[in-house]
Amino acid sequence: SPASSGARIRAVVASADRARRLRDAWIRAKTATPIVAIASAGGCLMARVAGASTAWVLVSLLAPVSVLIAVVALASRPRPVADRTAARADEDAHLGGELRSAYWFATRESVDDWTAWHMDRAATAADNVAWTAVYPRPRLRLSMAVSILVLAAAVAVPLRRSLLVPTLASPA
């Protein structure tokens, strides 16, 4: 039916948009993860040197990481889709304008037989697109490994604080 084809088209475009936004968020996360880890480790070490409580050390570790997780999570939430989003998905999936055209018709109220056929055909073609292949997530192995090592060092180094404090506290 025309209504179901229109709904399929709108759902496909929304799915493509979400896949693209997630890919873009993961690219930003890949770049930001080591920076966040260094900032978090620096905050942890400064909290330890300042003699802050364990709670402050945990906050300095978890706050930047939580912000990074929130950025990626926000990218996956549904949002309204515009015609330009359909055009971009159509172009990226090499659908030859069919998805964009069908999306335009799917957002209109009146649908004739040809429009219904066109939307159904475009929906079938778009259903066969693996949007995660069109918008693949980057590999995070190296940036995550570096980040984990930095965070582990930030946690481990303060354990030796008891050795540093007498040296810092002794008169010069």
Confidence class for position 163, pLDDT limits 50, 70, 90: very low
Q: What mean pLDDT comes out for the span 66-71?
A: 82
- The one-character DSSP state at 159 is G
Question: CA-CA distances (angstroms) from residue 165 to 48, 51, 90?
Answer: 10, 10, 62
- Give the list of residues 6+ apart from residue 19 with CB closer than 8 angstroms, or none: 131, 132, 134, 135
What pLDDT is stored for residue 16 in this prediction? Answer: 94
| pTM of the full structure | 0.73
